[in-house]
Structure 1
């Protein structure tokens, strides 16, 4: 029985060649005239809510998108579009428990990361409430005084009014934080142990922050979204 030659769905050309297989094993074709890629008798797979919830959990672990696509049996293209939409909707503001005015203690630090290539550095500025372990301030950008200012402005008002802030000796902190409520300390003091431990947790859980990885971010928007996605999860999981 002669094999039927597939026609290009765009230009109806029969000058079609085989072009590998898609994620579910079906034969992929490519039109030699217009370049369109397609499969015969395509069937749109509906991704159920259970699979989406599983993907949301896997995004919080050190697993690359290609690995998540293999585990959940979805296409990498669909997964990338899903992740793009999810990270775009993640709030860029912390949600923390209500604090009364009084003695509050913050630990602040900045962690190195990059987008696209290591020359495009993106510093993650973080402030952690020592008592509750909540992340109460976040900024992602360069390591300049403007970055320290953005971290300070991201803090809820009660922290800007009352908190004592422990940081390393990076000069940008001294230029921005009120001197009467700022202490520059070394690691040996133990005053920044909790924020440094969180930085380690962040690198262990968000694959695009691992120093030597193929899972690094290609888009700044997704880089920022992934970090915020984990921070919201982390704060919500604390036993407050």
Structure 2
């Protein structure tokens, strides 16, 4: 018999009756006693639809809107986006970064009183978002980001005049600190793109973030498919599956 067990891959299998629901021939492995059919039912939605979900999310649509469009639950949309974001979590490996712009982006979880600040590091030479830290708008949160940035061998930090920058970057004698808005244009543009491409970050919106985890994963998607890379990679995968 040419079939093999899908669990242990042993070829010593025997026929074991027929499935009740669909009448398929069942088999049983004599080695591990696993029972199976060769006519497997593909469960769940197709992969192209899951990619479509992330493409729409990365193009400014809310999860509820995507759920209505694809006729699935909002929780399902959340699960698909979370799964793909975890697979493509974007934080580049440290290397040399001559000029790094720092800035903080205001956000909130569920209610505007529940503030969340996203501290971002942007490498001007490579035009990449290289790291981020979520937390309060204080020195403790910034400190976590700067500790990781030590691995990048930064030559110049460019920031605005927010006090925590001055306090902590004065402790980094190996890097110069330039304090002026005119040298943070790139990261300000990055913040604008962030708010444009993802519904939870829109200035005036009914779409809200409900967990810190999803904010971080959304930032990962933003870095991977909008800032450091391109959404065309997702679109091409979807077209390949549909062809």
Same fold (TM over 0.5): yes
- CA offset at residue 195 of structure 1? 0.5
Q: Quick one: which of 227, 230, 233 aligns to 1:237?
A: 230
- Find the counterpart in structure 2 of residue 61 from structure 1: 59
The correspondence of residues 188-227 of structure 1 with structure 2, limited to 5 A, is 190-227=182-219
Write the deviation string for residues 156-194 of structure 1: whole angstroms up to 9, x where unpaired. 61x3x342001011111122222562434332xx21110
Cα distance in 2 between the residues matched to 1:56 and 1:156: 33
Structure 2 portions without partners, runs of 5+ = 1-41, 232-243
Cα distance in 1 between the residues matched to 2:137 and 2:87: 26
Q: Quick one: which of 147, 165, 171 aligns to 1:153?
A: 147
Cα distance in 1 between the residues matched to 2:189 and 2:213: 25
- Say which structure, 1 or 2, has more relative contact order (CA 8 Å, 6+ apart): 2
Structure 1 portions without partners, runs of 5+ = 1-43
Q: Quick one: which of 70, 73, 76 aligns to 1:75?
A: 73
Contact kept? 1:204, 1:210, Cα under 8 Å:
yes
What is the total number of aligned residue pairs between the two structures? Answer: 187
Identify the range of structure 1 (55-64 vs 199-208) with the bigger mean alpha-carbon deviation: 55-64
- CA offset at residue 74 of structure 1? 2.2
Does 2:108 match 1:114? yes
Contact kept? 1:90, 1:225, Cα under 8 Å:
no
Write the deviation string for residues 106-134 of structure 1: whole angstroms up to 9, x where unpaired. 11111100001111111111111111111
Contact kept? 2:158, 2:180, Cα under 8 Å:
no
Contact kept? 1:137, 1:152, Cα under 8 Å:
no
Contact kept? 1:167, 1:173, Cα under 8 Å:
yes
Write the deviation string for residues 62-110 of structure 1: whole angstroms up to 9, x where unpaired. 111111112223232322333344445553x6125x745xx71111111
Q: Quick one: which of 49, 52, 57 aligns to 1:51?
A: 49
> 3-state SS of the aligned residue for 1:78?
helix
- CA offset at residue 61 of structure 1? 1.6
Please, what TM-score do these two structures have when normalized by structure 1?
0.70
> 3-state SS of the aligned residue for 1:47?
coil
- Find the counterpart in structure 1 of residue 179 from structure 2: 185
Cα distance in 1 between the residues matched to 2:230 and 2:75: 30
Contact kept? 1:206, 1:227, Cα under 8 Å:
no
- CA offset at residue 56 of structure 1? 1.6
Contact kept? 1:138, 1:154, Cα under 8 Å:
no
Contact kept? 1:95, 1:232, Cα under 8 Å:
no
